[in-house]
Structure 1
Amino acid sequence: MNLEPLTLPGEIAYLSQLMDYVTWAAAAAGLDEQATYRLSLAVDEIATNIVIHSYQETGRTGDLTIRAETDADKLLIYLEDTGIPFDPREEPFPDHLDLPLEERRDGGLGIYLALWGVDAFHYEQVDGKNRCVFMMNRPSTAGDAPFPES
C-alpha cells in the first residue's frame, strides 16, 4: 500500500497535519499504540527541527513532503524538505544525561530519542532535497528487517 504524498508549507502551524498523516499511515499499517507513538515522536522531532533550524532561523521558505509505503514487513515514512542539508545521524550522542538538568547543554536529546524510537532511519540527499526515511517493522514481522537500499 502506498499513500498519496502530502505537501505542506514548512511552518509550525502545519505540523499537526503532518502528524495526522503519520498516525493514519501507522494505523493503516497495523502498528500498535506504542509503535505509533515512537514513530510520531520521531517524525515530529525531525520535522520540527527542519522547520525551525532550516527554514525559520535562516529566513528561508520551503515545503515538507511526506509519503508512506508499506509492504508485508514494514512501514516506510519519507520526509523531504529543501532546507539546509543536515543528517540527524551526525548529531553527537547526548553524553550529558547524568548531569543535573541545569548543567546540561542544549540540543541533541530530541534527535537521539527520535532515532532510537524507530526500527531504522536513513538520510540522503536526492535531487536537491533532503530525505529522511523512517522505518517501522509491521506487527507480523519478527526481528529487525534490513533497511532497503535506495
Structure 2
Amino acid sequence: MESLTVFGTLSSLGMIAKYAKEAAAVAGLDKKASYNLRLAVEEIATNIIVYGYQETGREGVLDLRVSIDEQALSLFIEDTSEPFNPFQKLNVEEEQINLPIEQRPIGGLGLYLAIHGVDKFFYERIGDRNRNILVVNLPTGV
C-alpha cells in the first residue's frame, strides 16, 4: 500500500479516515477491528492537527504509511509538531475514568479510546518528528 501525505489541517481528516479504512480492508480486518483502527487513527491525527499545528500556529504535514505482514497491520503516523508523547496524556485520561460520573469532564477520553482500541500502540521521537505506531493483529489464518 502506498503512503499518504496530507496537510496538517482538519480538512485532511476525510482522506486520513479513508486511508485507514483501505488499510484495514487490505489486511482483511473484521468490521470491529477496522472501526477501532479508523477511530484510533482519526483521534491521533485530530490531536496532531489541533494541538500540534493549529494551536501552536505551526504548519506541517502528516505522513501515513502501512506495513502488513503475516501477523499484524502497523499504521505509522508522523508529524513535525512539537514533541508529544500520548502516554503522558493517557495517564490523565485514565485517572478521569475512575472519577464519579458527575466529576468527569466532558470529552477528553480520545487518546484512551485510541490506544486501547488497537492491539499495540507505540510512540517515538525521531529527530524533529513524532511517530505514532498503531498495530492491529490480523485474524489467524490470514
TM-score (norm 2): 0.91
Structure 1: gaps (5+ residues): 142-150
The CA distance in 2 between the partners of 1:128 and 1:96, in whole Å, is 31
Higher helix content, 1 or 2: 2
The more displaced of 103-112 and 12-21 is 103-112
The one of 77, 86, 97 aligned to 2:84 = 86
AA paired with 1:24? Answer: E
The CA distance in 2 between the partners of 1:51 and 1:118, in whole Å, is 21
TM-score (norm 1): 0.86
User: Which residue pairs with 1:146 in the alignment?
Assistant: none
Structure 2: gaps (5+ residues): none
User: Which residue pairs with 2:8 in the alignment?
Assistant: 10
The one of 62, 65, 81 aligned to 2:60 = 62
**1:100 CA displacement:** 3.0
The CA distance in 2 between the partners of 1:5 and 1:51, in whole Å, is 18
User: Which residue pairs with 1:100 in the alignment?
Assistant: 101
User: Which residue pairs with 2:140 in the alignment?
Assistant: 140
Give the fraction of aligned pairs with identical amino acids, expressed as a percent: 43
The CA distance in 1 between the partners of 2:44 and 2:34, in whole Å, is 16
User: Which residue pairs with 1:73 in the alignment?
Assistant: 71
AA paired with 2:30? Answer: D
**Does the aligned pair in 2 maintain the 1:94–1:108 contact within 8 Å?**
no
AA paired with 1:131? Answer: R
AA paired with 1:11? Answer: T
